[in-house]
Amino acid sequence: MKVQNKVIIVTGGGSGMGREIVLNLLSKGAKVIAIDINEMALQETAAIAKNKKDSLCTFVVDITNKAAVEMLSYDVLKGLGAVDGIINNAGIIQPFIKVNDLSSEVIERVINVNFYGTLNMVKAFLPHLLTRPEAHIVNISSMGGFLPVPGQTIYGASKAAVKLLTEGLNSELMGTKIKVTAVFPGAVGTNIMKNSGVDNPMQTASGSREMKFLSPAKAAKIIIDGMESDRCRVLVGKDAKIMDFFYRLAPRSAANLIGKKMSVLMEKK
């Protein structure tokens, strides 16, 4: 679905990759509704949009709150009349520790934001999207959603749930005018760690080689290009592409490789 003149909702639009997705959509002539829990971050996104901000609406919403998301859908449709697509980008990671050391509160928060937040948005807007001449749902999973990453096991589980939710939707919506895309970013240089309240293990791993991160702007372009090409699966970054191939070819070897790298980082925290 080409995004020009379409109304697209983006969750997590206040910062990082979500902000860049918003800006990319605006540059292509879309009208964008940016959702975030952080009002100040949304204001910053609007300020950066500059002359495009007339095509941008912002809403402060906690996507884990089902009632709030349902009210959002009511307000958006009442105010704008129609929505053509949603990009479920909002997400958080967990502390870089093992499942045994994670509190139930942290586990529930990660699953609530990443999975239930995405599901709440889909459930709230899908009935309307089915009435549109064409529509699109994009759900952001993660490289961690198809490859086990020790120290991010609950995060990975939540993103694996997003993966299967998206793939299931794609199958269920065959024959309709809705296209569905699952996105698997690798390492992208966002502030997800800060927003998640998590320390960066790379900062405490002395002597470790600095990771190379894809810029959020480049990631956003790949995602929107995939959406406009109606691709059902989008890998973002060379690392995601390489590990996707490696994990399919030799899952145990790929898992062992990532396991060894993560064990070193966690030991040096």
Helix 216-228 and helix 16-27: axis angle, to 10°?
50
Strands, E assignment, the chain? 7-11, 31-36, 56-60, 85-88, 135-140, 178-185, 233-236
Q: Within its chain, how far is the Cα of 58 from the centroid? A: 18
3-state secondary structure 10-62: EECCCCHHHHHHHHHHHHCCCEEEEEECCHHHHHHHHHHHHHHHHHEEEEECC
188 secondary structure, DSSP code: B
Per the annotation, the verdict on 155 as an active-site residue is yes
Specify the 3-state DSSP secondary structure of 187. coil
Q: List 188's β-bridge partners, or say none.
A: 214
Specify the 3-state DSSP secondary structure of 196. helix
Hey, CA dihedral for 236, 166, 4, 78, is it positive or negative?
negative
Residue 142 makes CB contacts below 8 A (sequence gap 6+) with 91, 155, 156, 159, 162, 184, 185
Catalytic center residues: 155
